[in-house]
Amino acid sequence: MVDIETLSVHPDATVLSIGAVAFDPVIGLAPVSFESTLDRASQKGRRIDSDTVAWWIHQAEENPGASHVFRERRLEPVNTALARLSDYYRHWCTEDSGVWANGPDFDLVILRSLYEDFSSKPLWTHRQHRCYRTLRNFALEAGLEINIKPNMKPHDALSDAYFQAEYAMEAMKQLGVFA
C-alpha cells in the first residue's frame, strides 16, 4: 500500500512525502515500512497548485496535526528516496505483487512521473495497480463492518498507508478474496 502527500492533484505534482507498507491478507503487515519526506527544492518544474495549498491550509485549521507536512523534518533528496522505495519494494514484494493506492490513478501515476523526472522508473507496472478505494466501496456496499483502529494521523503518508492496508486486509478476509 502506497500513499503520497502532494502540492497538486496533477501527474507532475510536487511530492511532499511517501509512505508504504507491504502486506498480505493472510500473513499480515510487513515488520518494516517505508517513509520519506522529500526535498521540495529538488523538484524544480513540478507543479504546485494554489487550490491544493489552500486545501492544506484548511486541513491545518480543522486539524492542527495536518500541518505536519510543512514542518521541516529531515528532507531526503528525491533520487535517494526513490531508490530506497525501489529497494523496499524489491525486498518485500514479488513480481506478481499488486501495488495498492487510494486510487492508483493518483498516487501511482504521480510516483511514475516523479521516477521519470529523476531518470528512473518504478519496479511495478500498470498491470499491478490495485485500487483501495474500489475495495473499500465494495466492502461498504456489501455491508461489511470493518473494525480496525482509526487513523489517528490523517494526511500523513505512512499513517494513511497503514490504515488503508489494515482496512484492505480485513475487507479481503471478510469478502473471501485474496489479491
**pLDDT at residue 69 greater than cutoff 70:** no
**pLDDT at residue 44 greater than cutoff 80:** yes
DSSP per-residue letters across 11-25: TTBPEEEEEEEEEET
Which CATH number fits the domain that encloses residue 109? 3.30.420.10
**pLDDT at residue 58 greater than cutoff 90:** no
Q: Which residues of 108-134 are buried (b: 16+ CB within 10 A; e: fewer)?
A: bbbbbbbbebbeeebbbeeebbbbbee
Take residue 133 and report the three cell numbers written for it: 478505494
Mean of per-residue pLDDT scores for the chain: 92
pTM: predicted TM-score of the whole model, two decimal places = 0.93
Counted domains in the chain = 1
Domain that holds residue 134: 2-175
pLDDT value, residue 17 = 94
What average pLDDT does this structure show over 59-80?
76
Instruction: Give tens-digit pLDDT for 121-168.
Output: 999 999 999 999 999 999 999 999 999 999 988 889 999 999 999 999
Confidence of residue 178 (pLDDT cuts 50, 70, 90): confident
**pLDDT at residue 96 greater than cutoff 70:** yes
